[in-house]
A and B are shown apart, each in its own frame.
Chain A
């Protein structure tokens, strides 16, 4: 191998080495450039999942709340109806008390 040939081979190798380094630098730059969008995507995904979970919680609470309210109304209405029926049966006694109070002259 001649001296010139040897120099050419070395220059080519250095050129190839420079290209490899430049490629790596370009890829690293690309990775860094994509970071913001990856962070944004990750954030959106996490927040979206949380919002979905939150919406589900609220929807479930609405269903559960309605059921509990309906059960409460049913149970309480029954109790109120009984109390009112009991009160209705005492109307005569209460009216007698009204008459007594109106006709008594202490007040």
Chain B
């Protein structure tokens, strides 16, 4: 090989090596940047999957919670229905009692006694419903009341009847003070207790 040929070969060889180095450096930089970017993207991807996992858990929890709610609602509605039926049945039974003098009259007398004690006056007016006005033995009840009260009380029987399925209302002679002891009022006043007691028997609550 001539000196000239060797010289040109050296020039081209050096240029090729330098060119390879330039390309290798660019590829190396690119690879490094891509790896760094991959690390960032992977972290982002992990966050996306973690968030989806949490959402998935939420979806499952929500569906179960909705199912629980639906069942609970149906259960409450059914329980409420049974309780209403029981209260209605109780009302019917109590109304049957009002037709049985041997049970009703002592109860009515007791209601009147409690009302007179509560109002605490020496003179009272006793109001009953139309049916009771006609059938009860007022004189006997008055005697029983005075005996139980153990104090003199002037008892007057109202001429106007009250609208009630039973029981009585005790008022002052001027009508300003009233103690309502009707069956309707008792049902209203006792409703919470009736529901609790009935619920205890029905549902063991």
Does the CB pair A69–B90 fall under 8 Å?
A: no
Give the interface residue-count category, chain B. 35 or more
Does the CB pair B90–A57 fall under 8 Å?
A: no
Give the interface residue-count category, chain A. 35 or more
Does the CB pair B18–A80 fall under 8 Å?
A: no
Main secondary structure of the interface of A (DSSP, over half): helix
B123 at the interface (CB under 8 A from A): no
Stretch from B39-47, B132-140, B154-162 contacting the other chain: B39-47
| 20 A-B residue pairs with CB within 8 Å | A16-B11, A20-B12, A20-B16, A21-B15, A24-B23, A28-B22, A35-B30, A35-B33, A47-B48, A49-B45, A50-B45, A57-B53, A60-B56, A69-B64, A84-B75, A87-B202, A90-B201, A93-B201, A102-B90, A107-B193
Which B residues form the contact surface with A (CB < 8 A)?
A: 2, 4-5, 7-8, 11-12, 14-16, 18-20, 22-23, 25-27, 29-30, 33-34, 37-38, 40-42, 44-46, 48-49, 51-53, 55-57, 59-64, 66-68, 70-71, 74-75, 78-79, 82, 85-87, 89-91, 93-94, 97, 103, 107, 110-111, 114, 183, 186-187, 189-190, 193-194, 197-198, 201-203
Which 8 A-B pairs give the minimum distances between C-beta atoms?
A: A54-B52, A98-B90, A24-B19, A61-B56, A17-B15, A50-B45, A13-B8, A65-B63
